[in-house]
């Protein structure tokens, strides 16, 4: 069994402040002896659209180099829940990208958010597609903890993506998020549990919480769910870490007793 930690944050538009807090959380996770720490979506910057270009960078770049050094220093894997990546094909739009760094400081996977959050409600307007491009590739990679699948926030509402990750062999799927308060209170935990149950995987969801620049308010409640749908841990409404063990023997036992994977009709794309 391997132990992982999720960082819950209330990120601002002050990159250096967010970076300093992230470093502190890595040190705390290392002191707890966990194998991996995962950060929320856009954990280094939540601010006005006009400021995004100033913090966007190529991958690898300055920020990934900092965290690669931290991974080696503390002998810990780090999931950068998402950072703002410069798009080679556009000077005006960017990618919302997760980066997985192993304990040796090597980038072993990066995932560009596929499903962009565009809503137009009477009291709330938010269009990620105004400044982000959608990714197009499903990402599942080998790691010493488990075979890991990567998603970001709004992807949670699209079970087909999680099914494809499960078909690729994913045992642990990360969902770094900045889920809105309004939708989160009704849907967040229910959706996380559903994705875990239907795919018989561990779901690990580090989240943003509280008020941010631009009239944003996020739900928090970072959580780790096991393959049976049980909530192993759930964060209170504050910055900090939650931890749980990833037990592949238990995962395999769950799949043996209820062989959903064997029964899935793989020739049909649901």
pLDDT band at 266 (very low <50, low <70, confident <90, very high): low
Predicted pLDDT of residue 91 = 82
Predicted pLDDT of residue 263 = 82
User: For residues 56 and 14, is the Cβ–Cβ distance under 8 A?
Assistant: no
Residue 221 vs residue 1, higher pLDDT: 221
Predicted pLDDT of residue 85 = 98
Instruction: Give the whole-angstrom CA distance, residue 2 versus residue 172.
Output: 12
Predicted pLDDT of residue 269 = 55
CA distances from 172 to 50, 146, 226, 263 (A): 35, 6, 9, 20
Predicted pLDDT of residue 49 = 79
Q: Which two tokens stand for residue 172?
A: 């642990």
- Residue 248 CB-half CA count within 13 A: 12
Taking residues 185-189, what's their average pLDDT?
A: 97
Predicted pLDDT of residue 267 = 56
pLDDT of 9-44, one tens digit each?
Answer: 999 999 999 999 999 999 999 999 999 999 999 999
Residue 48 vs residue 240, higher pLDDT: 240
Among candidates 244, 207, 252, 206, which has minimal Cα distance to 227?
A: 252
Dihedral sign computed on CA atoms, order 150, 159, 240, 208: positive
Q: What is the CA radius of gyration of the chain?
A: 17
Among the ranges given (165-179, 193-207, 209-223), the one the predictor scored with the smallest mean pLDDT: 209-223
**Packing angle between helix 15-31 and helix 62-74, nearest 10 degrees?**
20
Q: What is the DSSP letter of 107?
A: E
Predicted pLDDT of residue 4 = 98
The model scores a pTM over 0.85: yes
User: For residues 64 and 50, is the Cβ–Cβ distance under 8 A?
Assistant: no
Taking residues 160-166, what's their average pLDDT?
A: 97
pLDDT band at 268 (very low <50, low <70, confident <90, very high): low
Among candidates 170, 181, 186, 231, which has minimal Cα distance to 207?
A: 181
Instruction: Give the whole-angstrom CA distance, residue 250 versus residue 253.
Output: 5
Cβ neighbours of residue 26 under 8 Å, at least 6 residues apart?
37, 70, 74, 76, 78
pLDDT at 270 over 60: no
Percent of the chain with pLDDT over 70: 97
CATH topology of domain 2-263: Nitrilase/N-carbamoyl-D-aminoacid amidohydrolase (3.60.110)
Instruction: Give the whole-angstrom CA distance, residue 263 versus residue 66.
Output: 44
Cβ neighbours of residue 55 under 8 Å, at least 6 residues apart?
15, 44, 45, 84
Where do runs of H (alpha helix) occur along 102-210?
A: 159-167, 181-199
Q: What is the mean pLDDT of the chain?
A: 95
> Tokens 């894997």 label which residue?
77
pLDDT of 50-95, one tens digit each?
Answer: 899 999 999 999 999 999 999 999 999 999 999 999 999 988 899 9
The set of catalytic residues is 41, 113, 153
């Amino acid at each position: 069994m391997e132990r992982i930690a999720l960082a819950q944050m209330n990120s601002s538009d002050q990159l250096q402040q967010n970076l300093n807090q992230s470093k502190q959380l890595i040190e705390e996770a290392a002191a707890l002896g966990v194998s991996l720490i995962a950060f929320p979506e856009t954990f280094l910057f939540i601010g006005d659209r006009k400021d995004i270009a100033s913090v966007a960078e190529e991958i690898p770049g300055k920020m990934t180099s900092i965290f690669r050094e931290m991974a080696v220093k503390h002998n810990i894997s780090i999931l950068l829940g998402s950072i703002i990546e410069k798009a080679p094909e556009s000077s005006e739009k960017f990618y919302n990208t997760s980066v997985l760094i192993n304990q040796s400081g090597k980038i072993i996977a990066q995932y560009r958010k596929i499903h962009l959050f565009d809503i137009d409600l009477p009291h709330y307007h938010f269009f990620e597609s105004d400044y982000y491009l959608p990714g197009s590739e499903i990402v599942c990679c080998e790691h010493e903890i488990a075979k890991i699948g990567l998603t970001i926030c709004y992807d949670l509402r699209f079970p087909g993506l999680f099914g494809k990750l499960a078909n690729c062999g994913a045992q642990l799927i990360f969902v770094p998020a900045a889920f809105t308060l309004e939708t989160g209170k009704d849907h967040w935990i229910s959706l996380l549990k559903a994705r875990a149950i239907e795919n018989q995987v561990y779901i690990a969801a580090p989240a943003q919480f509280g008020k941010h620049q631009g009239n944003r308010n996020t739900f928090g409640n970072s959580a780790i769910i096991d393959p049976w749908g049980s909530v192993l841990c759930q964060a209170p409404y504050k910055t900090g870490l939650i931890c749980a063990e990833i037990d592949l023997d238990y995962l395999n036992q769950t799949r043996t007793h209820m062989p959903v994977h064997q029964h899935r009709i793989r020739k049909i794309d649901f």
